[in-house]
Amino acid sequence: MNLIYNSEHYSVVEFGAQAGMETMRFGGYEILDKPARRETFIAGPLAEAFRQHVRELIASEPSVEDVDEFLSGYGSLMGQPVVLH
């Protein structure tokens, strides 16, 4: 588990690939929308596509606003409420 992005609005945690687990073959990512208090976990081919899009985004030397806008595109997947204990 590795925190790879953290802004006022979003946080992204990367989980490494795990041998023997098909859904984790490419690793996975937890994306948290802080203001909405929602999150999602993506794995498998979607995680690989996310990784590739992030590489392309980083190559363009984005601002925090650019990265947050990119992450907002995953908003429709963020159905899991964040509950603090």
Instruction: Using a cut of 0.85, tell me whether the model's pTM lies above it.
Output: no
pLDDT at 16: 78
Residue 12, beta-bridge partner list: 5, 31
Summarize pLDDT for 17-73 with one digit per residue, the tens: 665 655 555 679 999 999 999 999 998 888 889 999 999 999 999 999 999 999 999
CA gap 85, 12 in Å, rounded: 20
Render pLDDT for 6-18 as a digit per residue (tens, 0 to 9): 999 999 999 876 6
Range of the domain at 35: 2-81
